[in-house]
Structure 1
Amino acid sequence: MRYEFADCVLDIDRHVLTRRGEAVPIEPQVFDLLELLAESPGRLVARDEIIDRVWNGRFVSDSTISARIAAARKAVGDDGKSQRIIRTIVRRGLQMATEVQRSAAPAPERDRRMQRLRYARGSDGQSIAFTVSGDGPPVLRVGSIVYDVEAEWRLSSERTYLRAMEAKFTLLRYNKREQSHWGDPCHASYEGVDEDILAVTEAAGFDRFCIVTELGGLFSALRFAAKYPERVSRMAIVGGWAEGRNHREGVEGPDSIRNLILEGWDNPGSGYAVGSLLSYFPEGPLETVREIVDEMQALYSVEQKLYQRDSGNTASVLHLLPQVQCPTLILHGRNSSVHPLSEAHKLAAGIPDASLVVLETANHIPLPGNDVYDTYIQALTDFLLEP
């Protein structure tokens, strides 16, 4: 679906706004707001409807809403004084004040937060939730910011990523199963993770496929690629690391991220909790980081977050790297302080058929709204589509 108005085109399938033929980078909430208004030009869209659609019904301040409206106006070449395109109806809501043309018949209204879950059975008999969406070559996603397919769908930044991937690939995502008890993180066991992946991909009908792995999902992806090389055609590693903090030279003093988790994870909206994630995403956008923290605090206890942090600090995948046989792309932020670029160099040097793309950002993984986000998605999808 494409909405054309003034000198703008809002492409819903590609999740892109263009103005005078040039792409305009905008945050996910701003895109969702424009889509909501463009769907029904001339109709009054009430404040409550805006909050329900753009923020999934969560509480947001008036200043946050005003900031997103101002950003939407700026993106389409409007402003609060003229209101040629987005009109404010005082104390009631907003209205798309210009004519809108659709490039195709409108699709039936659907709940953007709904997805179809299926279940596979792991080697231990436990069920594993997964979902398949999109159309194109098969791609398995291993690991993400939240490791939960339902939580991913609730996050606006993740939905932006998923739409981009689903436009070109058949995307398979599954829930990473947490350990039933928290033992010594220095000896964290990844036994069985490769069998979980095998179970899920077989249930989804994936025979040979690409893998995209992010953050700590790297450990599971490498184990699977090493054990089942005939199934993995390509692998992209985003924000990975070869050796955890405890193995790196020159790293001294307390783990500040761990301390932030310890101090504030149990307090909803805590600045300490937000600070722990801003270490990964110092360029934000801040509203996106806050949304992710809210979701993660609902998913994980402080004990789970500390275990994840400690096990990542003590982990090393150097022994697995030579066993990877497929072409591999490593994407890494140049100025990431959590896992420095030197860790990406270790991955690229250790995997026989690997290449490295350095992204000009301090974010460990680019988020929608970052200047390099489109570059990141283009590099990722181009690699996965190579024959």
Structure 2
Amino acid sequence: MIKPSATSFRFVGRSLDPVLRELRLNDELREVEPKVFDLIEYLLRNRERVVSKDELQDKLWPDVVVTEASLSRAIMKARKALDDHAREAEIIRTVPRKGFRFVADVREPAGSVFLVDGLSDVHFVENNGIHIAWRTLGEGPTDVFFAPGFVSHLDTRYRIREVAEFDTQLAAGRRLIAYDKRSVGLSERIGERPTLEENVGDMLAVLDAAKSKKAVIFAVSESGPVACRFAAKYPDRVTALILYGTFACGLKDDDYPHMWSRKTYDAWVDSLISQWGGAASLELFAPSISDDPAAQDGWARYLRSAATPGVIRGMFEVLRDIDVRDELAGINCPTLVLHRRGDRLVQCSAGRDLAERIPGAKFVELPGRDHWWFVGDQQSVLQAMQPYLQATSEP
């Protein structure tokens, strides 16, 4: 289940619990209007930066025209509830012509760092001298192996509410096995580009380490070709194959019009690397939230924690030259291919072409334009997956 992470928020003799909707000063319960409570919570959760007045209006009063005077009154009520003072602010500080910032030091007990229950410790398995990080979530008769996109981080991912919500549902009554690819996240950083075959070997090593004899493989985006080769090479280890937002060939070709040309692809990689450290290409990965300052900041921090620019350039150079089309006919497990209709990073037609090349595969076109499966309508993704998650594996 999703943990009520806000129970951990404690600062200068106060505590805030958004689950119980309680604000306490020295353990004394304070009365707070709902919108004022939301205002305090929003500033606290975004305390690493200044939050503008426009952002507060958009987030807290999305369907109402709020005057600056009304916002000022809400800030005044928030300070009163916190027993804070504008001139000598300990908690909510006004930044002239910029907005407001929550400046108090916040303490979070270790038990509330992750937003999920049932998460294992991080384990490492060695494959040809390289240590690969993996962990599990949940328990059950079916193993689901998650193969991530180009970046991942086994700690940071479970501090992202949308990811925690998606994975919690995916792991309900099942064991979800996740890993960081070599050179990414918590796995060992190496000085050379990982090959497709090395990534296949790492998947096998993690499954062996987890003592999973057979699993449903759920692969997204750049991990799709790796999962396809794995399913074709190790059919006895795959219960079902679920592919989301992915492709069979990295570049556009005369008989494959679904991807970018080499020139466009290389220009995009250059742009991505030049923006590293910021919210690089968020408008392609998740256009529905790309204007959200909190999403921008979160994506930038995730990228910085997950990998370095040089590693990512090398990874995309390998992906550019991938072509597993000739291997797809060898996949003989139940296969589901999911793709959002308006995906701006990988065209929906690439997913449809992928499904047509895999014997018996089912293609489901989903509404939406976000490349990330956990952003937007999660339920349509999870509902489509359900029939392929029912088979019992052999942990």
Query: Could you state the TM-score of these two structures normalised by the residue count of structure 2?
Result: 0.69
Larger-Rg structure: 2
In structure 2, the residue matched to 1:331 is 338
Cα distance, 1:309 vs structure 2: 2.9
CA distance in 2, matches of 1:244, 1:182: 20
Specify every segment of 5 or more residues in structure 2 that has no aligned partner in the other structure, as ranges. Answer: 10-15, 24-28, 83-108, 184-188
In structure 2, the residue matched to 1:146 is 151
Cα distance, 1:40 vs structure 2: 4.7
Cα distance, 1:257 vs structure 2: 2.3
**How has the CA–CA distance of structure 1 residues 156 and 321 changed in structure 2, closer, same or farther, with 3 Å as cutoff?**
same
Note if contact 2:130-2:182 (Cα within 8 Å) is conserved in structure 1.
no
Note if contact 2:224-2:248 (Cα within 8 Å) is conserved in structure 1.
no
In structure 1, the residue matched to 2:371 is 364
In structure 2, the residue matched to 1:306 is 313
Written as runs of structure 1 = structure 2, the 5 A alignment for 1:57-76 is: 58-59=48-49, 61-63=51-53, 64=55, 67-70=58-61
Q: Indicate the SS of the match to 2:325.
A: coil
**2:138 paired residue among 111, 116, 134:** 134
CA distance in 2, matches of 1:54, 1:149: 21
Note if contact 2:143-2:215 (Cα within 8 Å) is conserved in structure 1.
yes
Cα distance, 1:169 vs structure 2: 2.2
**1:37 paired residue among 18, 29, 48:** 18
**2:214 paired residue among 208, 217, 225:** 208
**How has the CA–CA distance of structure 1 residues 69 and 36 changed in structure 2, closer, same or farther, with 3 Å as cutoff?**
farther
CA distance in 2, matches of 1:215, 1:382: 21
**2:198 paired residue among 175, 189, 192:** 192
**How has the CA–CA distance of structure 1 residues 111 and 38 changed in structure 2, closer, same or farther, with 3 Å as cutoff?**
closer
Cα distance, 1:143 vs structure 2: 1.4
Q: Is residue 241 of structure 2 the alignment partner of residue 235 of structure 1? A: yes
CA distance in 2, matches of 1:325, 1:60: 53
**How has the CA–CA distance of structure 1 residues 50 and 41 changed in structure 2, closer, same or farther, with 3 Å as cutoff?**
closer
Residue-by-residue CA offset, 1:175-230 (whole Å, 9 max, x unaligned): 111272345xxxx6222323322222222221211111011112332222122211
Q: Is residue 306 of structure 2 the alignment partner of residue 296 of structure 1? A: no
Tell me the amino acid that sits aligned with residue 264 of structure 1: Q
Cα distance, 1:62 vs structure 2: 4.6
**How has the CA–CA distance of structure 1 residues 66 and 229 changed in structure 2, closer, same or farther, with 3 Å as cutoff?**
same
In structure 1, the residue matched to 2:264 is 254
Q: Bigger CA drift: 40-49 or 225-234?
A: 40-49
Q: Indicate the SS of the match to 1:279.
A: helix
**How has the CA–CA distance of structure 1 residues 378 and 309 changed in structure 2, closer, same or farther, with 3 Å as cutoff?**
same
Q: Bigger CA drift: 219-228 or 279-288?
A: 279-288
CA distance in 1, matches of 2:218, 2:390: 12
Residue-by-residue CA offset, 1:251-284 (whole Å, 9 max, x unaligned): 555345224224322xx43xxx44x231232222
**How has the CA–CA distance of structure 1 residues 243 and 378 changed in structure 2, closer, same or farther, with 3 Å as cutoff?**
same
In structure 2, the residue matched to 1:90 is 78
Residue-by-residue CA offset, 1:226-265 (whole Å, 9 max, x unaligned): 2221111011101111111343449555345224224322
**1:318 paired residue among 309, 316, 325:** 325
In structure 1, the residue matched to 2:354 is 347
Cα distance, 1:292 vs structure 2: 1.9
Cα distance, 1:334 vs structure 2: 1.1
CA distance in 2, matches of 1:145, 1:262: 13
**How has the CA–CA distance of structure 1 residues 237 and 198 changed in structure 2, closer, same or farther, with 3 Å as cutoff?**
same
Query: Could you state the TM-score of these two structures normalised by the residue count of structure 1?
Result: 0.71
Residue-by-residue CA offset, 1:122-180 (whole Å, 9 max, x unaligned): 33143322111113321110114632212212333322222222224211111111272
CA distance in 2, matches of 1:111, 1:278: 31
Q: Indicate the SS of the match to 1:363.
A: coil
**How has the CA–CA distance of structure 1 residues 160 and 237 changed in structure 2, closer, same or farther, with 3 Å as cutoff?**
same
**How has the CA–CA distance of structure 1 residues 386 and 299 changed in structure 2, closer, same or farther, with 3 Å as cutoff?**
closer
CA distance in 2, matches of 1:93, 1:296: 37
The alignment yields a C-alpha RMSD, in angstroms, of 3.8
Q: Indicate the SS of the match to 1:254.
A: helix
Cα distance, 1:321 vs structure 2: 0.9
In structure 2, the residue matched to 1:121 is 125
Q: Bigger CA drift: 122-131 or 348-357?
A: 122-131
Tell me the amino acid that sits aligned with residue 138 of structure 2: G
Cα distance, 1:47 vs structure 2: 9.1
Q: Indicate the SS of the match to 1:322.
A: helix
Cα distance, 1:87 vs structure 2: 11
Note if contact 2:343-2:370 (Cα within 8 Å) is conserved in structure 1.
yes
CA distance in 2, matches of 1:294, 1:201: 29
Q: Indicate the SS of the match to 2:196.
A: coil
Identity of aligned residues (%): 21
**How has the CA–CA distance of structure 1 residues 308 and 286 changed in structure 2, closer, same or farther, with 3 Å as cutoff?**
farther
Tell me the amino acid that sits aligned with residue 176 of structure 2: L
